[in-house]
Chains A and B, each alone.
Chain A
């Protein structure tokens, strides 16, 4: 999705420069939620303050919202037919593979820091063995990162901007 956003707002409309776009993607990945929604908020706000942000969010979410509603309204009743059941069984394999791939890519990206390897390990134990609540695990790891981040040396270059560059090459 990022290349698509870049083509529209940088190349076609010249709403932001390439440098600003990188910054937007970095903010988009720092904030929670969909990068597309975050980018829309940022660009909308920059162009026309709050009204712009709201308009941009509506623009980016409405198509998905309506397509899902249409699918849910018209196709949901067929989901239990044998052919859909077989489709979903096969697709479930792909979902597991996708999650594995995302973990793989994400891991390669953040494991440059030793601290994040340790924290991921701690979080996995907390989730799978201790069965702690996911939000509690997120809070504990952020707290540990906040506390230890200062003591260990975090890479000298600006990691957020680096992420923005890498993000630009990703497909989604």
Chain B
């Protein structure tokens, strides 16, 4: 379990272009859809806590998912797994960055990568939306949050806390 957690997060860390949000669809695919290690509702709780906790979402997601599946050792290997690819790629980029920046082929590659990541995040919104937005009250909360996010751009932790409070008021 520990080894497969480590390798899974290594893989996720290697492909999470775009930071923590890019990791959500990848973790969802690895942990919920293909292995069934987590139920969708459990995964949603992990995202909620990861968003509300200060610090990089990528680290929060890895630590919590690892802890949930294999306790403290799971948290350690998952966090290390998700950091390692960033570490090595940044070290390589510090040496070849000037070349990378000017190469049109590399630009095209990054463009393709970013497009795929955007599609991944949209698909995560669709897939998570299908399981979360079953109740018209939750749909209302989601719409209100979306409008607030686009207009006022508040910190995600505040949006989640307010939405959770609304959940307690409406459904508690």
Contacts and interface: CB of A to CB of B under 8 A. Distances in A.
Interface of B, helix, strand, loop or mixed by DSSP = helix
B138 interface: yes
B56 interface: yes
A124 interface: yes
Nearest to A23: B97
Query: A-side binding surface: helix, strand, loop or mixed?
Result: helix
B101 A160 contact: yes
B43 to A, nearest CB: 10
A137 B142 contact: no
A90 B138 contact: yes
A127 B160 contact: no
B116 A32 contact: no
Interface extent on B, as a size class? 35 or more
B3 interface: no
Contacts of B145: 93-94, 97-98
A92 B16 contact: no
Interface residues of A, number: 92
B89 interface: yes
Which are the 3 A-B pairs with shortest beta-carbon distances? Answer: A149-B108, A90-B167, A145-B112
Interface of B: 11, 13-22, 24-26, 29, 41, 44-45, 47-51, 53-60, 63-64, 67-68, 72, 75, 79, 82-83, 85-87, 89-91, 93-94, 97, 100-102, 104-126, 128-129, 132-133, 135, 138-143, 145-146, 149-150, 153, 155-156, 159-168, 170-172
8 contacts: A61-B59, A86-B167, A102-B21, A106-B117, A106-B118, A115-B108, A119-B111, A119-B112
Interface of A: 1, 23, 26-38, 41-42, 45-46, 53, 57, 60-61, 63-65, 67-69, 71-72, 76, 79, 82-83, 86-104, 106-107, 110, 113, 115-117, 119-121, 123-124, 126-128, 133-135, 137-138, 140-150, 154, 158-161, 171-172
